[in-house]
């Protein structure tokens, strides 16, 4: 990708370039070396666990202006990558250069892995370093590396006037002459942000869709003002275009010190009308699905809003935070509570990324778990529909319970049990809802059966790395529940699992009923008991997991749009 030199805010940009150079000199990068205990072969093996997958969407019928917008968005995305690398660690650009220049035999593999992980720490191995750089600072590149959370608390105690600036989403903390200062993103990353803003403005100018242009323009302005509110609102209002861009500082996971600082990232995606129509068919039946929940009528939540702003898109490019490590298949934004209050939030499901993971991860798992014949019949569409219904099901069922006369969210009543139960609920209510929609004629029985079968294989995918995390535990719970009721059986001779279709549907409905009742009554004790009995990986399940070791852990996206884009930028 070639960037044109920045034409705006050059003066501000130059100071930052000089500061960055000074910085790099100070910690002048030594020749890169592998971390202790990491061998060159390990690195190659780790890279192999991430299956390369071409990610693309049909672009043949795009109009000329749409191609210009996409081309600018992809280039602006690459700028998000640059900034994110700095947010992870300011030594990253220098180390990357050094890796590229190194003639060590492992340097090429290390550079490839560095690019996947956006730095020298392995995001799939608890952020252990694979290059000899020491442990990752918990505050990433957002804070002085030696600053602890306690230090920061002590500072804020003494300087309450700093609280807002220091704990905001869009600033970094630096030490200057022994004192802590906050530097807004617009200053810290002024030069790259100016380039990104120019690209977004060019895209806005090319756009023939006003809502899209409004988002791109207001986002460019936010890069310069650090005020993202208006552009978050504009993002919620994008309509009437198949281009779905999401670009800017969003998630705070990279800040393991305080969970406060937002990381730059980008999704460039295209929506297609067939997927949208199918999704509308599901969304318009949310009230019916609530009515048909397997729960007493008094617990049904028919007064709630059934607006469910979910979109299904195909990604053509991602960058920054979301590109690093494990690939996202859905996101829900914005995070700003003020926007959520005013406009709600939007969940975006990435269909082609889901498809790539289905092909490279779920399909081989299904063949191992269910056997070659049954495994080969597991199809993408039923599985993806179940995934969509999982997301919609988060919006079904009890939201509040009354505790001592006060209405509190279910999550508060169930406390530490809540996430596992809520994830299990979304799975079982989603599958149950698929049956309801089949009765309505939206799907046939074979489709529903295929969804259950794919889901059974998917339970193994979810527990592959343990049942400590909510999704893994929810999967263990469902397997254990169905197993005890004889709905899933092991063919000892062939070492594969099979579901009794009717019994599996029944067991699924019973578990849905139990979880919904626990949520409706805020039954903390029953929630704990359910997790204790079922929230562990059963031995039958555990025995099969070693056979899944060769299945890729995740995919490594290869964005083919880049190869076609060369001629798209002209025409302004």
Report in angstroms how near the CB of residue 393 gets to Zn ion at its nearest: 8
Give strand pairing partners of 347: 310, 332
What is the β-pairing status of strands 179-184 and 243-249? unpaired
Site for Zn ion in 372-431 (CB under 5 A): 426
Helices 229-236/210-225 angle, 10° precision: 160
State in angstroms the smallest separation of the CB of 387 from Zn ion.
Answer: 9
Q: How far is the CB of 332 from Zn ion (least distance, A)?
A: 10
Complex with Zn ion: residue 234 or 426, whichever CB lies closer: 426
DSSP string covering 51-88, please? EEEEE----TT--HHHHHHHHHHHHHHHHHHHHHHHHH
Q: How far apart are CA 477 and CA 387, in angstroms?
A: 18
Here's the x/- map for Zn ion, 421-440, by CB under 5 A: it reads as -----x--------------
Residue 474 CB, nearest distance to Zn ion (Å)?
A: 8
Would the CA dihedral through 380, 385, 390, 392 be positive or negative? positive
Least Å from the CB of residue 386 to Zn ion: 12
| Residue 474 found at the interface with Zn ion (CB under 5 A) | no
The minimum distance between CB 426 and Zn ion, in angstroms, equals 4
**For residues 242 and 67, what is the distance between their CA atoms, to the nearest angstrom?**
12
Tell me the per-residue interface mask from 34 to 73 with Zn ion, x by CB under 5 A, - otherwise. ----------------------------------------
CB nearer Zn ion, residue 413 or residue 426: 426
**Of residues 80 and 353, the one with the C-beta less far from Zn ion:** 353
What is the radius of gyration, based on Cα positions, of the chain?
25
Task: Count the residues of the shown chain that bind Zn ion, applying the rule CB under 5 A.
Answer: 1
Q: Which one, 204 or 396, has the nearer CB to Zn ion?
A: 396
Residues within window 244-263 making contact with Zn ion, judged by CB under 5 A: none
Q: Would you say 213 or 426 has its CB closer to Zn ion?
A: 426
Assess 88 for contact with Zn ion (CB under 5 A). no
10 Å CB burial of residue 534 (0-12, 13-18, 19+) is buried
* Shortest distance (Å) from residue 97 CB to Zn ion: 40
Q: Closest CB to Zn ion among 183 and 470? A: 470
- HSE of 545 in the Cβ direction (CA atoms, 13 Å)? 18
What is the rounded CA–CA span in Å between residue 218 and residue 227? 10
Query: Is the Cβ of residue 426 or residue 511 nearer to Zn ion in the bound state?
Result: 426
For Zn ion, the nearest residue by Cβ is: 426
- Residue with smaller CB distance to Zn ion, 318 or 462: 462
DSSP string of 447-495?
HHHHHHHHHHHHHHHHHTT-SSSHHHHHHHHHHHHHHHTTSEEEETTTT
Site residues for Zn ion, 341-370, by CB under 5 A, read none
- Say if CB 252 and CB 261 are below 8 A apart: yes
In whole angstroms, the minimum distance from the beta carbon of 453 to Zn ion comes to 20
**Binding residues for Zn ion (CB under 5 A):** 426
């Amino acid at each position: 990708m070639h960037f044109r030199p920045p034409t705006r805010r050059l003066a501000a940009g130059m100071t930052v370039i000089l500061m960055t150079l000074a910085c790099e000199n100070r910690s002048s990068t030594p020749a890169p070396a592998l971390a202790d205990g990491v061998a060159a072969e390990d690195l190659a093996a780790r890279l192999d666990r991430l299956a390369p997958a071409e990610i693309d969407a049909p672009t043949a019928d795009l109009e000329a202006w749409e191609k210009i917008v996409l081309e600018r968005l992809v280039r602006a995305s690459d700028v998000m990558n640059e900034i994110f690398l700095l947010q992870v660690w300011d030594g990253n650009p220098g180390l990357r250069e050094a890796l590229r220049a190194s003639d060590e035999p492992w340097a090429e593999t290390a550079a490839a892995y560095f690019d996947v992980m956006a730095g020298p720490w392995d995001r799939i191995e608890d952020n252990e370093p694979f290059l000899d750089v020491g442990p990752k600072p918990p505050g990433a590149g957002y804070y002085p590396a030696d600053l602890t959370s306690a230090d920061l608390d002590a500072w804020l105690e003494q300087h309450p006037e700093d609280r807002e600036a220091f704990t905001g989403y869009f600033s970094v903390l630096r030490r200057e002459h022994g004192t802590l200062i906050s530097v807004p993103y617009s200053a810290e990353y002024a030069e790259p942000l100016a380039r990104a803003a120019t690209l977004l403005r060019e895209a806005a100018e090319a756009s023939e869709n006003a809502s899209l242009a409004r988002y791109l323009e207001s986002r460019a302005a936010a890069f310069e003002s650090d005020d993202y509110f208006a552009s978050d609102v504009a993002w919620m209002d994008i309509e009437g275009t198949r281009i779905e861009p999401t670009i800017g500082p969003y998630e705070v996971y990279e800040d393991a010190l305080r969970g406060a600082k937002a990381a730059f990232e980008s999704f460039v995606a295209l929506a297609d009308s067939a997927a949208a129509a199918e999704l509308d068919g599901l969304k318009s039946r949310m009230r019916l699905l609530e009515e048909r929940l397997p729960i007493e009528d008094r617990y049904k939540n028919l007064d709630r809003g059934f607006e469910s702003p979910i979109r299904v898109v195909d990604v053509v490019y991602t960058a920054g935070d979301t590109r690093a490590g494990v690939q996202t298949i859905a996101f829900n934004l914005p995070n700003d509570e003020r926007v959520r209050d005013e406009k709600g939030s939007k969940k975006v499901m990435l269909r082609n990324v889901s498809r790539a993971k289905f092909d490279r991860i779920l399909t081989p798992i299904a063949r191992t778990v269910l056997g070659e014949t049954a495994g080969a019949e597991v199809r993408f569409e039923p599985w993806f529909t179940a995934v969509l219904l999982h997301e919609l099901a988060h919006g079904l069922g009890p939201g509040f319970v009354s505790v001592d006369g006060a209405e509190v969210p279910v999550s508060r009543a169930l406390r530490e049990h809540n996430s596992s139960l809520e994830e299990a609920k979304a799975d079982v209510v989603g599958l149950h809802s698929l049956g309801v929609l089949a009765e309505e004629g939206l799907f046939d029985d074979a489709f529903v059966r295929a969804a259950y079968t794919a889901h059974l294989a998917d339970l193994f995918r979810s527990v592959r790395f343990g049942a400590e995390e909510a999704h893994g535990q929810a999967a263990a719970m469902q397997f254990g529940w169905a197993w005890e009721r004889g709905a899933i059986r092991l063919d000892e001779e062939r070492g594969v699992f099979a579901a009794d279709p009717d019994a599996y549907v029944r067991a699924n409905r019973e578990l849905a009923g139990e979880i919904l009742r626990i949520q409706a009554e805020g039954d903390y004790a029953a929630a704990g008991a359910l997790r204790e009995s079922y929230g562990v990986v059963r031995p039958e399940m555990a025995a099969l997991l070693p056979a899944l070791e060769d299945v890729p852990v995740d995919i490594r996206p290869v964005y083919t749009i880049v190869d076609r884009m060369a001629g798209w930028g002209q025409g302004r």
